[in-house]
Amino acid sequence: MNLLLLEEADFIAADRVILRDRRLTHMQEVHRCVVGDSMRVGRIGGLMGSADVLRLEVSEAELRVTLDQPPPAKLPLTLVLALPRPKMLRRVFQTVAAMGVPRIVLVNSYRVEKSFWQTPFLEPEAIREQLILGLEQARDSVLPEVVIEKRFKPFVEDRLPAITEGTLGLVGHPGNYPPCPRGLDEPVTLAIGPEGGWIPYEIELLGKSGLNPVQLGDRILRVETAVTALLARLF
Amino acid sequence: MNLLLLEEADFIAADRVILRDRRLTHMQEVHRCVVGDSMRVGRIGGLMGSADVLRLEVSEAELRVTLDQPPPAKLPLTLVLALPRPKMLRRVFQTVAAMGVPRIVLVNSYRVEKSFWQTPFLEPEAIREQLILGLEQARDSVLPEVVIEKRFKPFVEDRLPAITEGTLGLVGHPGNYPPCPRGLDEPVTLAIGPEGGWIPYEIELLGKSGLNPVQLGDRILRVETAVTALLARLF
């Protein structure tokens, strides 16, 4: 935890918060805080800054906060991701939050196992928990938007064109395609497939909505690694 | 498993192998192989190609192999990595093997907890197991070399200069440094610090051995994500 994130409910005054949950445990056990210590904090959806520990007891801590710094810029990106297997999904939420993706659309694909859609990790609270871990890691206070699209075709045909408009549309896909571009400033819509990749029909449909295949080389990467590698290459 | 890796001990003739272990289980349970199926295979340290399933029983499979393709090129890189915490270490071994790092040096650092050096994940067989998983994922047959350097100063002063010679020496480090370069063709020696980063003394010593700091932006990434992001940016 490189940043302590504050919820609205933590505030008892404009500059005072009370913490009682895992953040208190973390302050005590990992940071070994004492009264008078200063910590980096951020208000979820708002500014970042510092907090002084005014009071620290077994069951709660009181902090005085100064919020005066903007969070780091997000990437100019919408990430369209075929739903990964549950264990990978949790890590991907952390990774995309840490890397500054502002919007992720989880979409079905032919090679997504149907059972993946039943995972409790898709519950809003479970998603938020992983996103928060990513923000705490990277020092960011703004949650990415997560959109869930269980049906591929209606999403790609009816809603994707509006997302892609005015952006560079790309699909990460192994094969004889142009290499993924580097160091872009422009907004991008990037689609990344499931384990085993998109099927040709899906590539064709994504293409009609303005997303064209690019590749990262012969190596087949796990979804989490592919996401990180593509984002690091693009921006 | 996108590639079935074959050990020397599997061969009963120049073009025949017998499999009995987790690879047999994987063929049966994940790939649902039947006699006559063809699979992608690679000989560890050698060529890649395909194998036909000649015989498939509960306890063993016999395959006829044709090895005629070179493995994918490795990155022109030596990665010097402060020893990550054990759970992260396992994933990092998979990631570096998958991404094509040919040599990784695990080194001590002030912010590496001493207990990390006791992990069973540093046993040669445990390292090899994770590297194999990475190679199977990415379709590569050549194991990276792993060097363990428990003492930072003697390694950096006495052995690092010979590694760095003739390469671009870089240290991934947050701060007011030049951005990490992109799309290099030249050989690189890249050092990546522990959680919490290198201390100034370590940065100074790495600098004397030819490694200069570069940064990836304000966001603090987990070690595994930082490794992937730096490699994807550099090459």
Please write down the HEC assignment for all residues of chain A: CCCEEECHHHEEECCEEEECCHHHHHHHHCCCCCCCCEEEEEECCCCEEEEEEEEECCCCEEEEEEEEECCCCCCCEEEEEECCCHHHHHHHHHHHHHHCCCEEEEECCCCCCHHHHHCHHHCHHHHHHHHHHHHHHHCCCCCCEEEEECCHHHHHHHHHHHHHCCCEEEEECCCCCCECCCCCCCCEEEEECCCCCCCHHHHHHHHHCCCEEEECCCCCCCHHHHHHHHHHHHC
CB atoms within 10 A of CB A92: 26
Residue B138: in which H helix or E strand, if any?
helix B124-138
**CB–CB contact A228 B233 (8 Å):** no
Give which of A3, A99, A182, A219 to mutate to test B binding, by max B Cβ within 10 Å: A219
* Closest in A138, A140, A228 to B228, CB measured: A228
- The ipTM assigned to this model is 0.94
Give which of B88, B130, B142, B228 to mutate to test A binding, by max A Cβ within 10 Å: B228
- Which segments of chain A belong to CATH 2.40.240.20? 4-69
**Dihedrals φ, ψ of A180, to 5°?**
-60, 130
Residue B183: closest C-alpha in chain A: A182
Q: Is A32 on the interface with B (CB under 8 A)?
A: no
What's residue A194's pLDDT?
95
* Residues of chain A with C-beta less than 8 angstroms from the C-beta of B233: 232-233
How many Å apart are CA A110 and CA A153, to the nearest integer?
A: 11
Q: What percent of chain B has pLDDT over 70?
A: 100
Q: What is the mean pLDDT of residues A169-188?
A: 95
* Residues of chain A with C-beta less than 8 angstroms from the C-beta of B138: 219-221
- Between helices B86-99 and B124-138, what is the axis angle to 10°? 40
Give per-residue pLDDT as tens, B59-95: 999 999 999 999 999 999 999 999 999 999 999 999 9
What's residue A34's pLDDT?
94
Question: Do B80 and B160 meet the contact criterion of CB atoms below 8 Å apart?
Answer: yes
C-alpha distances out from residue B31 to A25, A112, B23, B28, B37, Å: 45, 16, 10, 6, 10
Residue A216: closest C-alpha in chain B: B232
Position B39 pLDDT exceeds 90: yes
Distance from CA of A228 to the nearest CA of B (A): 6
Q: Is B217 on the interface with A (CB under 8 A)?
A: yes
What's residue B1's pLDDT?
86
Position B174 pLDDT exceeds 90: no
**CB–CB contact B140 A219 (8 Å):** yes
Residue A226: closest C-alpha in chain B: B228
Considering the four listed CATH numbers 3.40.50.450, 2.102.10.10, 3.40.1280.10, 3.30.950.10, the one that applies to the domain covering B77-234 is 3.40.1280.10
- The CATH class of B4-69 is mainly beta
Position A70 pLDDT exceeds 90: yes
Q: Is A2 on the interface with B (CB under 8 A)?
A: yes
What's residue A233's pLDDT?
97
**CB–CB contact A220 B140 (8 Å):** no
- Which segments of chain A belong to CATH 3.40.1280.10? 77-234
